[in-house]
Structure 1
Amino acid sequence: MKVFILLFSVAVYTVFAVPFENEKQYGRFIEIPGGDGQMHLVDLEAEPDVEFLNEIARNPANNQYFLYTRRNPRVSQTLTINNANSIRNSNFNANRPTIVIVHGWLSNRNTNPNPTVRNAYLDKSDVNVIVMDWRRLAMRDYVTAANGVPAVGRGLGQFLQFLNQVTGAPFTSMHLIGFSLGAHLVGNAGRQLGGRAARVTGLDPAGPLWTLSTNRLRASDGVYVEAIHTDGGTGGLGIGSRVADADFFPNGGRSQPGCATSLCNHNRAWELFASTVTRNHLEGRQCTSMTQVTYNTCRGSTLRMGNDDLNKRGSGIYRLDTARRYPF
């Protein structure tokens, strides 16, 4: 009888110890790229700087917001939360769509995906592009930065609420786009807005410390939430499982053609997205399982990945194949 109980306990443990489909378990140490293009060795079990995180949470004004429009496509105007004149005296137009772009770890407003996605939008249409710079937190160690993302995301949401109050710009004309850690940041911003933003897009949402986090990007963060997964393999830099309304897995979502490194795979998410804003040419095929994604046997309906359509809708997981280089 004791043997049976022991075997049953082992069996139950085995079942519940198996990770969720395509979820990843990371070791203590992992190399993660920063906006400088270099890989940095990160201790995922390091203690975050709690005092700094408390200060960040108390003061959302730490974040900076830079506006670009067709009247100032390369030289930004600074928008400041709780300073209505900074908005009224800018080129911001509440009658046009507002695109918010958020960078990842060890980055700032001048690092990609910011300039590439900004230029793709402004070259195509007359919109407000707001680039968020959260370098004060993003330049800290990875564990501290990751722990501070929810508070900084809420700060972005508060800024957009202020923008709405000052100008009347509706949340239904806002598209929040974030890369890596920035993907979870815009998710938390959308949550602060009660899921009212028209679109929230996660570009290869960061995986380390986020795989099972309740603070990660999720489908309820906007009216339509989309994720593009390009480095979701075991130990990859991105989450390899579904997190949004529609999740796209280009080339299977683990490695990308023309890439020899995880960094290249990870960055391919914003490169693909920028190209779709310009061309709207990449179309996914719906899959019933991640097995179909992996073996490229998806036969469901089609949905275009990315693009700039504020009224886009869709759900499910999608596989598509791309070329090796821009425009893919």
Structure 2
Amino acid sequence: MEEVDEQFISVYRNERNYKYLLYTRGNPLTPQIIIHGVVKSLTNSHFKKNNEIVFLVHGWFGNADNEMNRMLTNAFLRKKELNIIVVDWSELATRNYLTAKRGVVTIGLQLGLFMSWLNYEFGISYEQIHLVGFSLGAHLVGNAGRASGGLVKRITGLDPAGPLWKRDNNRLNKNDARYVEVIHTNTALYGYSEPCGDADFYPNGGTSMPGCWFNVCSHSKGYEYMAASVLFNHLVARECPSLKDVEQNNCFGQFYPMGNSHMSKSRSGLFRVNTGNDFPF
């Protein structure tokens, strides 16, 4: 039986033990490291304080340079000029699942404190911040938003992790930011099946995705759909009366875009969009 490595998690209560990696149009491929509490690490970088900030947070066994981070960094920077900050918590994320899961609250709190430092030291408004997390990272950004009093403008949870989260009060919920959007792509196994945001999108019904033969493929469609929607804003969903209607493709409500980079989203409810097999779907 796997055990939680509490000693390893305790190391992460020191914010110097993981990295914040900044990408902008001035440095789209090579990150600059921002260190919590070190003012010059930000003032000597390409960071522009009046631009939006998108934080990207990977999931279990992810890392700073994985496909999810590369895909989303590229999409956001192609769309508009902003600050991308990739949170690299890979040393903890590559431990056993129970340890990585337990670490979500710790890293989430530290990210909340980092945002609070940006707010206090540089006058960065929470209205400028969009947190995007995949799998365990979706719950992590929820904890970061909660630590900031729910003031963050927008959270997007990309197929939040399902295993062991159903009865866990630390999971992502709609009070974690001013607006919380969730994209569910693998409710069959890896993803969280219940609605947990203001708006919950279930592309293709949410269980398994077109073109996928394995659950891990459907799970990863969460960030692939997000990247496509940031670039083209074309994945327009329809509102559904219930989860049963979502599953049965019986949705005829108002249209509403899934994903994208807009900071002004506000609609709540259940939504379904049917996609193609291949990017941009």
Length-normalised TM-score, structure 2: 0.98
Task: Write the mapping of 1:90-109 to structure 2, written as runs, cut at 5 A.
Answer: 90-109=45-64
| Cα separation, 2, equivalents of 1:274 and 1:312 | 17
Task: Write the mapping of 1:95-244 to structure 2, written as runs, cut at 5 A.
Answer: 95-233=50-188, 236-244=189-197
- Residue 305 of structure 1 corresponds to which residue in structure 2? 258
SS of match in other structure, 2:224: helix
The letter for the 2-side match of 1:163 is: L
Which 4+ stretches in 1 moved above 4 angstroms? none
Pick one of 272, 283, 286 that aligns with 2:239. 286
Does residue 8 of structure 2 align to residue 55 of structure 1?
Answer: no
Q: Residue 119 of structure 2 contacts residue 126 of structure 2 at CA under 8 Å; is this kept in 1? A: yes
The letter for the 1-side match of 2:238 is: R
Paired positions, count: 281
Does residue 217 of structure 2 align to residue 264 of structure 1?
Answer: yes
- Residue 208 of structure 2 corresponds to which residue in structure 1? 255
| Cα separation, 1, equivalents of 2:165 and 2:224 | 23
Q: Residue 286 of structure 1 contacts residue 298 of structure 1 at CA under 8 Å; is this kept in 2? A: yes
The letter for the 1-side match of 2:75 is: A
Q: Residue 65 of structure 1 contacts residue 80 of structure 1 at CA under 8 Å; is this kept in 2? A: yes
| Cα separation, 2, equivalents of 1:282 and 1:242 | 19
Pick which of 262-271 and 154-163 moved more.
154-163
Alpha-carbon shift at residue 212 of structure 1 (Å): 2.0
Alpha-carbon shift at residue 300 of structure 1 (Å): 1.5
Q: Residue 237 of structure 2 contacts residue 257 of structure 2 at CA under 8 Å; is this kept in 1? A: yes
Q: Provide the aligned C-alpha RMSD in A.
A: 1.0
Alpha-carbon shift at residue 107 of structure 1 (Å): 1.6
| Cα separation, 2, equivalents of 1:71 and 1:104 | 27
Q: Residue 63 of structure 1 contacts residue 152 of structure 1 at CA under 8 Å; is this kept in 2? A: no
Pick one of 21, 26, 29 that aligns with 1:71. 26
Alpha-carbon shift at residue 136 of structure 1 (Å): 2.0
- Residue 319 of structure 1 corresponds to which residue in structure 2? 272
Q: Residue 11 of structure 2 contacts residue 17 of structure 2 at CA under 8 Å; is this kept in 1? A: no
Length-normalised TM-score, structure 1: 0.84
Alpha-carbon shift at residue 60 of structure 1 (Å): 2.8
| Cα separation, 2, equivalents of 1:161 and 1:85 | 17
The letter for the 2-side match of 1:104 is: G
Identity over aligned pairs, percent: 45
Whichever of the two has the greater Rg, that structure is: 1
Q: Residue 211 of structure 2 contacts residue 277 of structure 2 at CA under 8 Å; is this kept in 1? A: yes
Q: Show CA shifts across 1:77-109 (max 9, x none).
A: 100001111011111111110010011111210
SS of match in other structure, 1:310: coil
SS of match in other structure, 1:321: coil
| Cα separation, 2, equivalents of 1:112 and 1:227 | 20
| Cα separation, 1, equivalents of 2:243 and 2:15 | 38
SS of match in other structure, 1:76: strand
- Residue 23 of structure 1 corresponds to which residue in structure 2? none
